[in-house]
Amino acid sequence: MLASEAIQDVMLKATGKTTTLASTSTKYLRILGLLDFYQRRWARERGIDWNSLYNLKFSLGTITATDTFDIDTSTIRKLSDREGDAVRVVWTNGVGYTDYDIVVHDKLKDYSQGVNRESPNGFYAAKIGGTLVFNHTFVAADAQFGGEIFVPCYVFADEITVGTDEIQVDDPDWLILQVAAEYVRNDITRRSRYPELQAEANEAMQRMRDDNDAQIDLVERPWAPASGLNGSAWS
């Protein structure tokens, strides 16, 4: 659904009338802004990770002589904690790879020792602030050096800034109802409809959460869950 279509539906729910607003009008731009605001709220919904915002292999760039790499926190909301997900470094030969188990930030030190912070138990990484930190510092002799880093993560929804932008919320009806509720809440002549519309929005949110929880995880994982040094790169 396009944002322009959602705006028409918001006006229908809020006013009970089919209304076409000019794209430069104050009402149009206000609703457009509310769609963006509540879509961002949806992406950050407490206690839930939306499957539709899951990215199995988001690239963070290439391995250099360090153990710390920046994460684009304006795009990535969190690293995945799904069972079996791991940070993967695909070697420069395009065939070999190394998987790094993702651990919580305050546990990374438990997997590090010595000058090189190399763990004898395997390979690990953690998100610390706006960075991805590995449990060893890379050097030019490492097979991983120069390879590309891929992280499994949940991303933010795209911004809604113009009418041709796509609505990314799993159930656009929730967004329409939520924005309509906010619209009438600030309209003295229609404020009495707010509880009804908000209740509908809450029901739609619960259905959306239930559907998300019920989805079978169909994301293909062509590598084994355990960390390893060798394997075939995935396409």
What pLDDT, in 10s, does the model give residues 17-48? 998 899 999 999 999 999 999 999 999 999 99
Crossing angle for the helix pair 172-185 and 26-43, nearest 10 degrees? 130
Q: Residue 111 pLDDT > 80, yes or no?
A: no
Q: What is the DSSP letter of 151?
A: E
Assessment of whether the complete model's pTM goes beyond 0.85: no
Alpha-carbon gap, residue 152 to 44, rounded angstroms: 17
The whole-number pLDDT of residue 164 equals: 97
What is the residue-averaged pLDDT of the chain? 87
When pLDDT is cut at 50, 70 and 90, the band that residue 115 belongs to is: low
Provide the pLDDT for residue 219: 44
Confidence at residue 117, expressed as pLDDT on a 0 to 100 scale: 58
Average pLDDT over residues 82-93: 92
Contact by Cβ (8 Å): 161, 40: no
